[in-house]
Amino acid sequence: MQAPIGARLLHLVPTILLVTIIVFALQHLMPGDPAVMMAGEAAGDPHVVAQIRAQMMLDQPVWWQYLHWLDEVLQGNLGYSWRLTSPVLVLIAQKLPVTLQLAAMAFFFAVAIGVPAGVVSAVKQGTAWDWAANAIGLFGLSIPTFWLGIVLILLVSVDLGWLPPSGYVPLTQDPLRSLATTIMPSFVLGNAIAAILMRHTRSAMLTALSQDYVRTARAKGLTEQRVVIRHALRNALIPVVTLGGLQLGTLLSGAVLTEQVFDVPGIGKLVVDAVFNRDYPVIQGVVLVTGLLYILINLATDILYAVINPRLRGG
Amino acid sequence: MRAMVFAAAMLLGFVAPTLAPAPALAAGPTTLRIGLREDPDILDPTLSGSYVGRIVYAGMCDKLFDYDPKLDIVPQLATSYSWKDPTHLILHLRAGVLFQDGEKMDADSVKYTLNRDLTMPRSLRKGQINDIAAMNVIDPLTLEIVLKQPNSAFLAQLAGRPGIVLAPKAAEQEGDKFGLHPVCAGPFRFVQRIPQQKIVLERFKRYWNAKAIHFDRLEYIPIVNSAVTLANLQAGALDMAEYVVPTDVAAVEKDPKLRIAMDTSLANYGITFNVGNGPEAKSPIGESADLRRAFDLSIDRNALIHVVFNGLYTPIGQANPPSSKFFVPSVQPTKRDIAAAKKLVAASGIKPPIDVTLMVSNSPDILQAAQVIQAMVQPAGFNVKIQATEFASSLAAARAGHFQAYMIQWSGRADADGNMYSFLHSGYGFNYGHYSNPEVDKLLDQARIAQTVPERVAIYAKIWKIEQQDMPVSYLWSPKNIVGLKKSLLGFKQVPDGIIRVQGMHFAK
């Protein structure tokens, strides 16, 4: 297994380079002038805008800007936010833990809801349980994140007064309050993934339950619970784990919308604000870091896949 | 599996209710939490350009002058001023004012700050004060500012961001990173900023006007989504929201703990026509003033405001709203007259339907307003295609001349020059349509030199007369400053510039 992982780690470098080139090109193709956005209410003065453009080196060719940025990155400097003047690395270091916490809790919700619902649905196929689980799946896939978010805010925060409607408290500062600020957004974020996991678990379980080894296990007189959990579920989980790993990456991108709705100051909100304000160094820095994370998560999924399925350990 | 489900139930069922009520998240009882509609940019008065940034400065940095609710310029860090002649301004400064790092504020500090505004790379203030020719420190509390030419709008600039006096030692030490740890001479000193989350200030005990301050801390919390702002107000997680959208006013008023404070605003919304910016100015509406006037005549501003903004905004026909000293009463918003509009269309010699592409930002209320306009101008012969565009993209398109008509807001200034010069004078950045009329340019320059308000208003009246004939901009409405706040929060005085001044505000005992 070590050789393929080593090779994949080597592939990481050109992949990331390609991602940065694409993002750099896209953000320059995107309409909108960063100098005008930075000037804000002072943009009525053309000299001010021209001066900002020169200061930000936006009057240089795009390839030159890219190489300059890359040179800085190789020295460990992701640059400074044009809008906030904070180092991009500091901004990412502030925001990433928020999003990771949100994603981890969302993944927890997704697994805690999706996998049991899928198992129950498969085991009790054709019964009311199956219908109920399918309804959960349909609900999760169909309900738009922003709608569910607003409805939950109105219901849980405004009407019931149980949880704060938005904001964030770091886990290290006050764990309980941190949970209070992230339960709703992580539930909303995990909801759609739960639906996907439920459907895949159901399908994989149905396949597993019809296999000979399950029939054999039953013939040996094992309890139904043992058959389902030890024999069927363990095998059914292989594709589900792969999917779960891929969805972890999706959680990072899904956080963009959820963080907007709940005003959670994570990496998604950081990049959205950066895009709206054409804060190029922040966009590039965030893409670089999340791209790396995405690739590493996929790598970790492959490793986990091999752990669960011994046949893949040969490499 | 069971454990996971159990844990989820624990989280949802037990942990959440124990954390109620939501306001418990707040800090101590003397913290004032103000919701902002967006996250401000850098907190350096020389480098910042966002409107909401000015709201934070009001808590942190006093200016040489400020505006009172009637928009009169009143002393703040300066105690008085006098004009020796139209180019020599004498400023008398307040004694005993300290910056938040303990440094003393004096004429040298003011000179240092204005010099910084004039010379710092990327300064956004340069254009506002570049009429300064020299500054002479007469004594520690008196500064003479010499202008290159008379400028009647100059004093108003010192009531804006250029009037914020910075602590020279801190500014010198931090350079272009000063905005990360700003130090000035206001009621609250900077403590912490977590971008997109909050800006925290704490009371500066040696503030010169300390008796007017009744909070220990200020927290500015940016919340972009208006529904979430409302929810935070209702849940008690905010004490005040600097802006509540008109459609949420009823919900706030219904809440027994909350109230609405509503006042006129300096902002304006209008449609700028492309009359000279690139090939797209060669459209029928770009080339014919008759058609632009017909378009303007077809809009029922009152109906539009009623439908889209719950009737709360004010119809306008000029850039300076009725609350402004520079408002010209003879210039009233156009009343809808389809018959007159049709006559103008006929006089233009262009056969309807006349295609007009209207570029608007993609926010729901503005899109709705565009749709109402689309329906209103149709009977006069206009076929409007709405082009909803993300804000930064729309600005870029407007500056590049890729538009026929562009609906956009300006946050407004108390001095008319800030609402007119860059918008109607040839060659300036907010004149997106490249409108150019030598007579208007001359009058705008004259208004800058004129010394009294009545003189200036007379000049502006002439400009509006020409503007209404050329119609480079069709002014539509002036919004209201709609602030949502707790009933227990007292002493809030609204000023049409929308800036929240914390002096005198306090919670009911």
- Which of A42, A119, A263 comes nearest B223 by C-beta? A263
**B180 occurs within a structural domain:** no
Chain A residues in contact with B122 by the CB 8 A cut-off are: 38, 51-52, 55
Nearest CA in chain A to B221: A167
**Would the pLDDT of B13 be above 70?**
no
User: B177 with B194: CB under 8 angstroms?
Assistant: no
Are A167 and B12 inside 8 Å of each other by CB? no
B344 and B451 share a domain? yes
The Cα B136–Cα B142 span in angstroms is 9
Q: How many other CB atoms are there within 10 angstroms of residue B28's CB atom? A: 8
Q: Which of B145, B171, B197 is the last residue of a domain?
A: B171
Q: Both tokens of residue A263?
A: 């005003």
Please indicate, yes or no, if residue B378 is contained in any of the structural domains. Answer: yes
pLDDT score of A248: 73
Q: Are A85 and B176 an interchain contact pair (Cβ–Cβ within 8 Å)? A: yes
| Phi/psi of residue B465, nearest 5 degrees | -65, -45
Asked if B274 and B404 sit in the same domain, the reply is yes
Q: What is the CATH number of the domain that holds B244?
A: 3.40.190.10
pLDDT band, residue A124 (cuts 50/70/90)? confident
Q: What angle do CA A109, A110, A116 make, to 5 degrees?
A: 95
Does the beta-carbon distance from B8 to A108 stay under 8 Å? yes
Q: Are residues B331 and B415 in the same domain?
A: yes
Domain boundary among B171, B199, B217: B171
Instruction: Report the residue of A28, A102, A263 to disrupt the B interface, i.e. the one with the largest count of B CBs within 10 Å.
Output: A263
Where do we find the tokens 């700003």? B182
Percent with pLDDT over 70 in chain A? 95
Nearest neighbour of B19 by CB, restricted to A113, A177, A276: A177
Chain A residue at shortest CA distance from B117: A48
| Subunit contact B395:A167, Cβ cutoff 8 A | no
CATH of domain A93-312: 1.10.3720.10
Asked if A85 contacts B120 with a C-beta cutoff of 8 angstroms, the reply is no
Give CA angle at A32 (A28, A34), nearest 5°: 80
Same domain for B442 and B491?
no
Q: Which residues contact B47 (CB under 8 A, 6 or more apart)?
A: A85, B41, B120, B122, B123, B124, B176, B179
Residue B230 lies in a domain: yes
Q: What CATH number is attached to the domain comprising B446?
A: 3.10.105.10
**Region of poorest pLDDT, from A188-192, B60-64, B254-258, B299-303:** A188-192
Question: The domain containing residue B129 runs over which residues?
Answer: 65-171
Cα-atom radius of gyration of chain A, to the nearest Å? 24
Question: Do residue B5 and residue A164 have CB atoms under 8 angstroms apart?
Answer: no
Between strands B198-203 and B132-139, the pairing is: unpaired
B410 by DSSP, 3-state: which? strand
- pLDDT over 90 (residue A214): no
Q: What is the pLDDT of residue B6?
A: 42
Mean pLDDT of A222-249: 78
Inter-chain residue contact A40 with B11, CB threshold 8 Å? no
Q: Which residues of B touch A44 (CB under 8 A)?
A: 127, 421-423, 428-430
* Same domain flag for B394 and B282: yes
Helices A2-29, A280-308: inter-axial angle, 10-degree rounding: 150
Residue B291 shares a structural domain with residue B205: no
Report pLDDT digits (tens) over B362-373: 888 899 999 999
Q: Return the pLDDT at B16.
A: 44
Residues B281, B162 share a domain? no
Q: Tell me the three state secondary structure of residue A290.
A: helix
Q: What is the pLDDT of residue A237?
A: 79
Determine, yes or no, domain membership for B124. Answer: yes
- The CATH 1.10.3720.10 domain(s) of chain A lie at 93-312
One domain, residues B29 and B135 = no
> How many residues are given for chain A?
315
- The answer to whether residue B303 sits within a structural domain is yes
Does the beta-carbon distance from A109 to B125 stay under 8 Å?
Answer: no
pLDDT band at A171 (very low <50, low <70, confident <90, very high): confident
Pick A208 or B94 by higher pLDDT.
B94
B4 neighbourhood in chain A, CB within 8 Å: 108, 111-112, 116
d(CA B218, CA B344): 55
Query: Length of chain B, please?
Result: 509
- What pLDDT was estimated at residue B305? 96
ω into B182 cis (within 30 of 0) = no
Q: Which residues make Cβ contacts (< 8 Å) with residue B99, sequence separation at least 6?
A: B105, B109, B166, B167, B170, B183, B184, B185
Query: Considering its fold, how many domains does chain B have in total?
Result: 3
Please give the residue of chain A at the shortest CA–CA distance from B26. Answer: A164
Residue with tokens 């130090």: B183
Is 70 exceeded by the pLDDT of residue B22? Answer: no
Nearest-angstrom CA–CA distance, A60 and A29? 15
On whether both B438 and B331 belong to a single domain, the answer is yes
Tokens of B410: 């300006």
pTM for the full model?
A: 0.83
Of all helices (H) and strands (E), which one includes residue B137?
strand B132-139
Predicted pLDDT at A164: 87
CA distances for A298 relative to A17, A246, B241, angstroms: 17, 7, 43
pLDDT band at B10 (very low <50, low <70, confident <90, very high): very low
pLDDT, residue B147, reads 96
Looking at the fold, whether B196 and B286 belong to one and the same domain comes out as: no
The verdict on residue B164 lying in a domain is: yes
pLDDT at residue A233, rounded to an integer: 83
Range from A92-101, A245-254, A256-265 carrying the lowest mean pLDDT: A245-254
Mean of the per-residue pLDDT values of chain B: 91
Query: DSSP class of residue B164?
Result: B
Please indicate, yes or no, whether residues B329 and B461 belong to a single structural domain of this protein.
yes
Interface touch B423/A44, C-beta < 8 Å: yes
Q: Which of A39, A41, A55 sits opposite B121 (nearest CB)?
A: A55
Q: Is residue B359 part of a domain?
A: yes
In angstroms, what is the C-alpha Rg of chain B? 25
CA distance B428 to B423: 7
Residue B114 predicted with pLDDT over 90: yes
pLDDT at residue A305 greater than cutoff 60: yes
Nearest CA-CA partner of B271 in B256, B293, B287, B251: B293
Confidence of residue A235 (pLDDT cuts 50, 70, 90): confident
Most confident of A56-60, A143-147, B257-261: B257-261
The answer to whether the CB atoms of B224 and A260 lie below 8 A apart is yes
Lowest mean pLDDT among A296-305, B126-135, B182-191: A296-305
Please indicate, yes or no, if residue B390 is contained in any of the structural domains.
yes
Do B282 and B430 share a domain, yes or no?
A: yes
Per-residue confidence band for A76, with pLDDT thresholds at 50, 70 and 90: confident
Nearest-CA distance from B3 to chain A in Å?
9
CB B59 within 8 A of CB B32: no
Instruction: State the angle between helix axes of A88-123 and A267-276 in degrees (0 to 180), rounded to the nearest 10.
Output: 120
> Residue B78 sits in a domain of what CATH number?
3.90.76.10
How distant is the Cα of B393 from the closest Cα of chain A, in angstroms? 4
The residue in chain B having the minimum alpha-carbon distance to the alpha carbon of residue A167 is B197
